[in-house]
Amino acid sequence: MITPLHPDLSQPAGWLPLAFLIVMGLAMLAYVILDGYDLGVGILMRHAEDTEKDMMIASIGPFWDANETWLVLSVGILLVAFPTAHGQILGALYLPVAIMLLGLILRGVAFDFRVKAQAQNKPAWNFAFHLGSILAAFSQGFMLGMLVIGFQTSIWSYAFAALIGLCLMAAYCLLGATWLLMKSEGQLQIKAATWARRSLWVAGVGIATISIVTPFASPSIAEKWFSFPNFILLFPIPLITAILFWWIDRILKRLPAQLAQGNQRWIWTPFASTVGIFFLAFHGLAYSLFPYLIIDKITIWQAASAPESLMIIFVGACVVLPVIIGYTVMAYRIFWGKATLLEY
Note the pLDDT tens digit of each residue in 83-94. 999 889 988 899
Q: What is the mean pLDDT of residues 137-164?
A: 92
Output the pLDDT for position 5: 63
| CA–CA gap between residue 139 and residue 284 (Å, rounded) | 21
Output the pLDDT for position 4: 57
The DSSP string of 190-212 is: HHHHHHHHHHHHHHHHHHHHHHH
Q: What is the mean pLDDT of residues 107-135?
A: 88
Output the pLDDT for position 230: 86
Contacts of 32 (CB under 8 A, 6+ apart): 140, 278, 282
Sign of CA dihedral 314, 67, 169, 162: negative
Output the pLDDT for position 228: 85
Cis status, amide bond into 96, omega within 30 of 0: no
| CA–CA gap between residue 21 and residue 225 (Å, rounded) | 21
Output the pLDDT for position 283: 93
Output the pLDDT for position 98: 95
| CA–CA gap between residue 338 and residue 183 (Å, rounded) | 4
CB 145, CB 209: distance < 8 Å: no
Q: What is the mean pLDDT of residues 71-75?
A: 90
Q: Is the model's pLDDT at 113 over the cut of 90?
A: no
Q: What is the mean pLDDT of residues 126-155?
A: 92
Output the pLDDT for position 2: 43
Mean of the per-residue pLDDT values of the chain: 89
Q: Is the model's pTM score more than 0.85?
A: yes
| CA–CA gap between residue 211 and residue 281 (Å, rounded) | 9
Q: Is the model's pLDDT at 225 over the cut of 80?
A: yes
Output the pLDDT for position 344: 52
Output the pLDDT for position 1: 37
Output the pLDDT for position 266: 86
